[in-house]
């Protein structure tokens, strides 16, 4: 579907400022929504909201349906009467400018455990009926997820494919046994999910009331060690012991000479097609209850997958395998209607990928940082944009614009300055202006670019591990001067959220 002319900011909630080690769904999130609205922005784009596992990547989640409980606001738990002020005052001395996931996970687990104990003892009486309703309405995914996490904790957090055979294969008697033995732990997992979704619902409603729409993100693949794969083993290409026959990745490219071995299991698309893509329908429908628009990550994967042998350490020996993307989206459209989708169509943009995107009228993506290689026909240069696309200065996988400009080859910097008629002193504002001035229906800017921050604040460096997903805003970063300048550029190029109906789109 087409979107009205508008703009927005890319910032994952973990990057919000605050006192509790990680951005959360509390007051600072509401303040950020207010800042977006005041600056004329229509969209807040986020990364996936699922519970993160090893490596802390939002693209490697324990569930395609569950929420990341690290985002639960401690202050809102005080307001609900689930913990006392003394609990949140006992927080560790967290770093301000980055997320120390080890510290955050340990402290929030303790805090959420205290919240659950209080709830079990009768605290939070006004929300008790609400929790029971949440449990009933979400039973179709919540039961399996809660059992998965409770069993995983009881097994020393080992992956499901290392569990004893009866649990690994979901033997009915084995599942009945753990439901009985781990009943309290299972209920605690459900309660934490309830807290997340309750806080997210309220924040999303505030955004909607403020004229801000949320762009979410659906990773194309599921994590191997996830409730999704454990509960749907027949829908993935797995060995009898649960290990993957082939795993996902991409061939050697701009980011890595050996490609990227992501390690996600590959869908058995024949099995998916056999039940009319029911798992995917549930996934997309659920996502569209949480956000207004979804970005489909790695859109090329709906045409073909780079299948890497499960035992390989790099992605060099993979091969392409066809995917029934058209059948999938036809099924989704029949069930869900017109899909508000942004297709992450970066990388090897083949005619088949373009045809699939355009057949369903999905918006594609253009990245300004990619445009200055010397070819005037480059699709990432603004004079080659089409209306139905989303213009980005960069994404969460790119360097910040300042970091990119400083590290780019001399000829690229020269071309950038010449193309933008710029002196190069503020490359972030020059690229923001170019994106907003373009004919693209939508323009999105990472928050780091509004702030003019350098390479040390980038969110993710693909094909690396250990220092990603950690960046956070400082308490004083969102100055009035910067947001006012953003507001002026937004209004100048007709993208302000007070122009027309920004809630929907055009068929």
Cα 272 from Cα 278, distance rounded (Å): 7
Cα 107 from Cα 77, distance rounded (Å): 14
Q: Which two tokens stand for residue 319?
A: 């091969």
In this prediction, residue 502 carries a pLDDT of: 37
Contact 390, 442 (CB under 8 A): yes
- What would the mean pLDDT of 104-112 be, rounded to a whole number? 97
The answer, yes or no, to whether residue 501 has pLDDT greater than 60, is: no
474 phi and psi, to 5 degrees?
-80, 165
Contact 341, 362 (CB under 8 A): yes
Q: How far is CA 364 from CA 148, 178, 505, in A?
A: 36, 46, 15
Query: Each residue of 403-462: pLDDT tens digit?
Result: 999 999 999 999 999 999 999 999 999 999 999 999 999 999 999 999 999 999 999 998
Cα 52 from Cα 22, distance rounded (Å): 13
- State percent of the chain over pLDDT 90: 90
In this prediction, residue 348 carries a pLDDT of: 74
- What would the mean pLDDT of 468-477 be, rounded to a whole number? 93
- What would the mean pLDDT of 249-260 be, rounded to a whole number? 83
Cα 387 from Cα 442, distance rounded (Å): 8
- What would the mean pLDDT of 235-243 be, rounded to a whole number? 96
* 341-343/389-392 β-pairing: unpaired
The answer, yes or no, to whether residue 344 has pLDDT greater than 80, is: yes
- What global pTM score does this model have? 0.95
**pLDDT band for position 255 (cuts 50, 70, 90):** low
Q: Measured on CA atoms in the order 405, 406, 409, 414, is the torsion positive or negative?
A: positive
Q: Which of 478, 432, 505, 476 is nearest to 42 (CA)?
A: 505
The answer, yes or no, to whether residue 368 has pLDDT greater than 70, is: yes
The answer, yes or no, to whether residue 469 has pLDDT greater than 60, is: yes
Place of tokens 């480059």: 378
Cα 249 from Cα 264, distance rounded (Å): 8
Q: Which of 71, 9, 90, 3 is nearest to 290 (CA)?
A: 71
Residues in contact with 309: Cβ distance below 8 Å, sequence separation at least 6, in sequence order: 246, 247, 317, 318
**pLDDT band for position 231 (cuts 50, 70, 90):** very high
- What would the mean pLDDT of 41-58 be, rounded to a whole number? 96
- What would the mean pLDDT of 69-90 be, rounded to a whole number? 96
**Active-site amino acid positions:** 297, 344, 397
- What would the mean pLDDT of 369-392 be, rounded to a whole number? 97
Beta strand residue intervals within 166-303, DSSP E: 213-218, 246-250, 260-265, 293-296
Cα-Cα-Cα-Cα torsion 433, 439, 441, 443, nearest 10 degrees, comes to -20
Contact 13, 26 (CB under 8 A): no
Reported as type and span, the H/E element at residue 7 is: strand 6-10
Q: Which two tokens stand for residue 26?
A: 């509390």
The answer, yes or no, to whether residue 499 has pLDDT greater than 60, is: no
The answer, yes or no, to whether residue 210 has pLDDT greater than 50, is: yes
Cα 246 from Cα 268, distance rounded (Å): 11
Q: How far is CA 130 from CA 61, 71, 458, in A?
A: 26, 20, 39
The answer, yes or no, to whether residue 347 has pLDDT greater than 90, is: no
Query: Each residue of 29-40: pLDDT tens digit?
Result: 999 999 999 999
Query: Each residue of 143-178: pLDDT tens digit?
Result: 999 999 999 999 999 999 999 999 999 999 999 999
Rounded mean pLDDT of the chain? 95
Cα 247 from Cα 3, distance rounded (Å): 35
In this prediction, residue 506 carries a pLDDT of: 36
In this prediction, residue 265 carries a pLDDT of: 97
In this prediction, residue 507 carries a pLDDT of: 30
Contact 272, 235 (CB under 8 A): yes
In this prediction, residue 495 carries a pLDDT of: 98
Query: Each residue of 317-335: pLDDT tens digit?
Result: 999 999 999 999 999 999 9
Other Cβ atoms less than 10 A from the Cβ of 354: the count is 14
Question: For residues 97-106, b (16+ Cβ closer than 10 Å) or e, as one string?
Answer: ebbebebbbe
Instruction: Specify the range with the lowest mean pLDDT, choosing from 123-127, 293-297, 380-384, 421-425.
Output: 123-127
- What would the mean pLDDT of 290-295 be, rounded to a whole number? 98
In this prediction, residue 124 carries a pLDDT of: 84
Contact 147, 183 (CB under 8 A): no
Contact 73, 87 (CB under 8 A): no
Cα 364 from Cα 386, distance rounded (Å): 9
- What would the mean pLDDT of 101-126 be, rounded to a whole number? 95
Q: How far is CA 275 from CA 99, 190, 223, 287, in A?
A: 41, 28, 21, 20
């Amino acid at each position: 579907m087409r979107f009205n002319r508008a703009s927005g900011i890319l910032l994952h909630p973990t990057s919000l400022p605050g006192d509790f080690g990680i951005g959360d769904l509390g007051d600072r999130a509401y303040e950020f929504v207010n800042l977006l609205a005041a600056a004329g922005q229509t969209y807040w784009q986020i990364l996936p909201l699922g519970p993160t596992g090893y490596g802390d990547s939002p693209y490697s989640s324990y569930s395609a349906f569950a929420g990341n409980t690290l985002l639960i606001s401690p202050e809102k738990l005080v307001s609900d009467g689930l913990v006392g002020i003394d609990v949140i005052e006992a927080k560790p001395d967290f770093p301000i400018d980055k997320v120390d996931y080890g510290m955050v996970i340990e402290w929030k687990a303790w805090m959420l455990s205290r919240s659950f104990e209080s709830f079990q003892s009768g605290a939070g009486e006004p929300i008790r009926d609400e929790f029971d309703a949440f449990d009933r309405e979400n039973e179709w995914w919540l039961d399996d997820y809660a059992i998965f996490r409770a069993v995983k904790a009881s097994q020393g957090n080992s992956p499901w494919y290392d569990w004893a055979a009866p649990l690994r294969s979901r033997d009915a008697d084995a599942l009945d046994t753990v439901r009985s033995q781990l009943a309290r732990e299972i209920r605690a997992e459900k309660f934490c999910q309830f807290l997340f979704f309750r806080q997210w619902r309220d924040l999303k409603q505030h955004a909607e009331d403020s004229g801000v729409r949320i762009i979410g993100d659906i990773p194309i693949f599921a994590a191997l060690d996830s409730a999704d794969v454990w509960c749907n083993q027949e829908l993935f290409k797995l060995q009898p012991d649960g290990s993957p026959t082939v795993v996902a990745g991409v061939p050697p490219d701009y980011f890595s000479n050996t490609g990227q071995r992501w390690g996600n299991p590959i869908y058995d698309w024949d099995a998916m097609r056999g039940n009319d893509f029911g798992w995917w329908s549930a996934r997309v429908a659920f996502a569209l209850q949480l956000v207004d628009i979804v970005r489909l990550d790695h859109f090329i994967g709906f045409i073909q997958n780079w299948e890497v042998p499960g035992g390989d350490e790099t992605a060099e020996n993979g091969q392409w395998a066809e995917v029934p993307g058209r059948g999938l989206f036809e099924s989704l459209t029949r069930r869900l209607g017109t899909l508000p989708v942004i297709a992450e169509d970066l990388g090897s943009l083949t005619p088949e990928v373009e045809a699939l995107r355009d057949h369903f009228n999905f918006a594609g993506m253009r990245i300004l940082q990619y445009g200055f290689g010397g070819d005037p026909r480059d699709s990432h240069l603004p004079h080659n944009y089409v209306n139905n696309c989303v213009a980005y200065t960069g994404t969460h996988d790119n360097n910040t614009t300042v970091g990119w400009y400083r590290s780019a080859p001399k000829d690229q910097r020269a071309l950038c300055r010449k193309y933008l008629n710029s002196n190069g002193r503020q490359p972030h504002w020059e690229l923001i202006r170019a994106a907003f001035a373009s004919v693209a229906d939508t323009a999105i800017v990472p928050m780091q670019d509004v702030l003019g921050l350098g390479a040390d604040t980038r969110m993710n460096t693909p094909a690396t591990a250990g220092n990603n997903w950690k960046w956070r805003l400082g308490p004083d970063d969102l100055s009035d001067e910067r947001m006012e300048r953003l507001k002026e550029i937004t209004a100048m190029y007709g993208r302000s959220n007070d122009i027309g109906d920004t809630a929907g789109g055009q068929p």
